Amino acid sequence: MPMAMRKRITATRDAREDKRRREARENGVVLERVAPVKKAEKKGRHERALDGPEVGRMRGAELKLSDRDVRNIEGSGGGRGGRGGKSGGRGRRGR
């Protein structure tokens, strides 16, 4: 989404909220307090250094592996292919 469009949407939203609060104040209605604006928190995982390990995170001199990292390393175990057996393929009707 273009930045100008996003800014316009937020400006319109803020203007609408200001109008709602102003009209409520004029009519003697008590509204909820304005929530404090929080800084945007970082989402996702931290980008790694070029010489760092591909998995886990270094804490001191120790490599910490999360359960997610261990699962990625070990893989899903593979399983077996499907459509095997006596007549389990495609296209052969009941032979």
Lookup: tokens for 71: 């699962």
pLDDT reported for residue 89:
66
Domain boundaries, the chain: 1-29
What are residue 40's phi and psi, to 5 degrees?
A: -65, 125
pLDDT reported for residue 2:
92
Closest CA to 52 of 63, 66, 38: 63
pLDDT reported for residue 6:
95
Q: Which residues contact 89 (CB under 8 A, 6 or more apart)?
A: 83
Lookup: tokens for 56: 């886990």
Rounded-to-10 torsion of CA 82, 88, 92, 95: 160
pLDDT reported for residue 14:
95
pLDDT reported for residue 41:
65
Residue ranges for the chain with pLDDT beneath 70: 40-53, 77-82, 84-85, 87-89, 91-95
